[in-house]
Amino acid sequence: MAFEFTDGNFKETVLEKKGLTVVDFWAEWCGPCRIIGPHIEELSKEYAGRVLVGKLNVDFNPEVAMKYGIRSIPTVLVLKDGEVVDRQVGATSKQVLASKIEAQLA
């Protein structure tokens, strides 16, 4: 299951962590978010132990969403050692997300 990021745990689990993190900014009411939700779940299993993959609900965690200027959802950020290295705005395929992860692992 994908990790659940919150305003409360984001600093310690992402910003202070070495390695690769993928954060899906989403909301319950967002149709395109429901399209990529299963992709995020699958990627969290496939990359378990190598990449922390999770979701952040923007309705309940506005601080982190505001910090990164999230204006459209879904937005997926790829962070390496706490720094944004890639971004995907809007629904996309699992393959596109996986290629973004692989590019950073290489």
Pick from 69, 74, 103: nearest CA to 86: 103
**Residue 39: its H or E element:** helix 31-46
Active-site residue, selected from the candidate residues 2, 20, 22, 30: 30
33 carries an active-site annotation: yes
Active-site residue, from 23, 33, 36, 101 = 33
Tokens of 104: 């950073």
- Please provide the distance, in angstroms rounded to a whole number, between the alpha carbons at the two ends of the chain: 24
Does the annotation mark 30 as catalytic? yes
Distances (CA, A) of 16 to 25, 58, 85: 19, 21, 16
Hey, which residues are catalytic here? Answer: 30, 33
